[in-house]
Structure 1
Amino acid sequence: YKDESFLLPSSDVLKHETPETLDQLGVKWKRGIFYKTVISDLSDLRNVYYDVLVFFSPSGIESLLKNFPDFEQKETRIAVFGNSTIDAATEAGLRIDIKAPTPETPSMTMALQKYINSVNKK
């Protein structure tokens, strides 16, 4: 399809590798921003505590820190999906307890199940 033009629907946040790869391959493409990533106000959850917080993007980590700048992880487990989310959590000083994808846990569901099974054996 080298004579075709392509539309890349995306959010306002896009990994720089995607357009670079398309350009390197010589693909004719145009980006369409179809939705915007925003940080929701979660301040009403200030006194709610969770066993596990699961993040699928760096913006989730950013939202946590913006909504709860004094967040203390304590016993809360942090689950992250993807390398960029792992990097954001690490940079934020969070202890990562659950990671996905991995060869043995390609989905977050599988990673959570593996973690729960291992903790319950103890």
Structure 2
Amino acid sequence: MSETLFTKDHEYIVVDGDAGLVGITEFAQGQLGDVVFVELPEIGVARKKGEQTAVVESVKAASEVYAPVAGEIIAVNDELADNPALVNEDPHGKGWFFKIRIADAGELSGLLDKAAYDALIGSLA
């Protein structure tokens, strides 16, 4: 069974076993506006929790995407190279950025569940 967790920097990770699918939240996508470019990490690179792993550029701004947990990048969403608008259309589905093999499952406890993340974005409104 998969579980979705969130960072305070507006990334999500869908945890399934020892791996997680990472992208930006709908809130982050809304703040960025129309996404025009996504720079993805290379497969096989290791990232520390909180380390810049990808970049997303919109008509408004560029923003870093950070690794929500430490681990090795095991897949990237190649569809974003040709169609970065997938991030706008479906940020929690087809607009995912990369998949990471989780090095330390204990780091997941520092992330927010949906209720805590909803409270965070509610406080920003």
The higher relative CO (CA closer than 8 Å, separation ≥ 6) is in 2
Structure in which a larger fraction of residues adopt strand: 2
* Common fold: TM-score over 0.5: no
Which TM-score applies when normalising by structure 1? 0.22
- When Rg is computed on C-alpha atoms for both structures, the one with the higher figure is 1
